[in-house]
Chains A and B, each alone.
Chain A
């Protein structure tokens, strides 16, 4: 195999995402100030060396809150696409590989789910499992993300069904499971990996939207989306809150988007 060459998109994306993820992971263990501790003496301070992103109306350090909230957002996004990708791949593999009536039934169900706006569907699921808890948001968003992965992966598996190397595998006696996992799955990665990056970004934005609307994460947990809705209330008094939180979301989405673009570019070069 020729070495796949690194490209600018991928490198920039990996550096940017790496830094942000490192910061957010660090935030799970250590932050400059406590992200929840109120300080009456330091309310609504603009950015300074002591408070990089300033403070909010309770005197909480926004940089610390961004670190901790970013971690929550990251966790939700990663678990969401994990659920979506794993279940979507299972459904896509089964329908794409076997075809027939199972395929028809599951794909029509898929179409029905896709027809709902995703936020509405998430709202519906949240109202069933109960609001507020981080893992409920993950369950709701995870389910919302299954259909798009199922559709992409179904195409990937179905397109290989009658290709000669699969026919050969069948002729030498390989079982269906072995063919799906060993012979087909690796060939879907070039589509799955970019789809994961797009899915991740959609999950970040969906979590932000849900928390902003008040159906996502609730105190004492905080996510970037929840903080953005908080920041809205003090947009004039403390614009740095909204700007730094929004910029964090934008940079994270931008970084992962660059990785996705870089991966696709890489595959195009290999061909």
Chain B
């Protein structure tokens, strides 16, 4: 087995069961025979139109949804997720310090002093000043919220992160800052990302490899440079034209 892998997805099919407390309901298949892997240190882009199955794939990888067939093999501890909407990803009832400390409390391996130290350390890594510790999410800008979301996802030092449209809700200038931050955190904390996005420009900026998902099937995958400059599949060409 390749020591360098963080994630393997093999012959994966999945979808949702709709309706029915008494009846079993109907099964809506979303993903068909999906195969790919993420290697250590890589940022892998997952692109496709809305409805192509990107979010379903993310849920199955995170274990929030059971696959119908195939398997997801993790070579790292549990992955964490960064969501698109920085408004609903932070609990509005608590301040930043509580939000960042909570994953460590649940983990239960550190005493209070160590938790506080780690929270401060992570806050500085996402380039937020300590005085934001006492801020509630509704007092932060979209970019600041997304930095807090990133910090919360990274506080237990996972090695693999799923980022679901992490910059789509942000202004272009803030987008660039957050992307730069995600790239530098990859080096500092030795991370790998699965980077879900419909924005091909963003994918081109940050990703090493890219998977193109269409109607639940991966129609093309490869190095970003290769795929974007010499697309093989009609669908990839169409996406690229639309992104011009």
Contact = CB atoms under 8 A, between A and B. Distances in A.
Interface of A: 1-2, 100-101, 104, 163-165, 167-174, 178, 182-183, 186-187, 189, 270
B87 to A, nearest CB: 9
A164 B102 CA distance: 15
Given A1-B95, A1-B139, A186-B94, A168 B78 contact: no
Interface of B: 21, 62, 64, 78, 80-81, 83, 85, 88-95, 102-103, 106-107, 134-136, 138-139, 152-153, 156
Nearest to B85: A164
A161 to B, nearest CB: 12
B106 to A, nearest CB: 5
B81 A171 contact: yes
B93 A171 contact: no
A172 B80 contact: yes
B85 to A, nearest CB: 6
A171 B139 CA distance: 25
Contacts of A183: 91
Given A101-B21, A186-B94, A173 B107 contact: yes
B106 A168 contact: no
A172 B103 contact: yes
Nearest to B78: A171
Given A1-B95, A171-B81, A172-B156, A165 B106 contact: no
Contacts of A104: 21
A100 B85 contact: no
Contacts of B106: 172-174, 178
B12 to A, nearest CB: 19
Q: Which of B83, B88, B136 has the most CB of A within 10 A?
A: B88
A44 B139 CA distance: 62
A58 to B, nearest CB: 54
B64 A167 contact: yes
Q: Is the interface of B mostly helix, strand, loop or mixed?
A: loop
Contacts of A101: 21
Nearest to B134: A1
Nearest to B92: A187
B103 A164 contact: no
Contact of B62 (A100, A171, A270): A171
B147 to A, nearest CB: 15
B138 to A, nearest CB: 8
B95 A187 contact: no
A165 B99 CA distance: 10
A224 B156 CA distance: 58
A169 B139 contact: no
Contacts of A2: 139
Given A2-B139, A100-B21, A171 B80 contact: yes
Nearest to A188: B93
Q: Which of A100, A186, A189 has the most CB of B within 10 A?
A: A186
A15 B93 CA distance: 28
B90 A165 contact: yes
Given A172-B102, A187-B92, 16 more contacts: A104-B21, A164-B83, A164-B85, A164-B89, A165-B90, A167-B64, A167-B81, A168-B89, A168-B153, A169-B91, A172-B80, A172-B103, A173-B78, A178-B106, A186-B91, A186-B94
Given A171-B78, A186-B94, A165 B21 contact: no
Contacts of B136: 1
Given A163-B88, A174-B106, A178-B106, A187 B93 contact: yes
A187 to B, nearest CB: 5
A2 B140 CA distance: 12
A159 to B, nearest CB: 11
Nearest to B108: A173
30 contacts: A1-B134, A1-B136, A2-B139, A164-B83, A164-B88, A164-B89, A165-B88, A167-B64, A168-B80, A168-B81, A168-B83, A168-B152, A168-B153, A169-B102, A171-B64, A171-B80, A171-B81, A172-B103, A172-B106, A172-B107, A172-B156, A173-B78, A173-B106, A174-B106, A182-B102, A186-B94, A187-B91, A187-B93, A189-B93, A270-B138
Nearest to B137: A165
A162 B132 CA distance: 27
B61 to A, nearest CB: 11
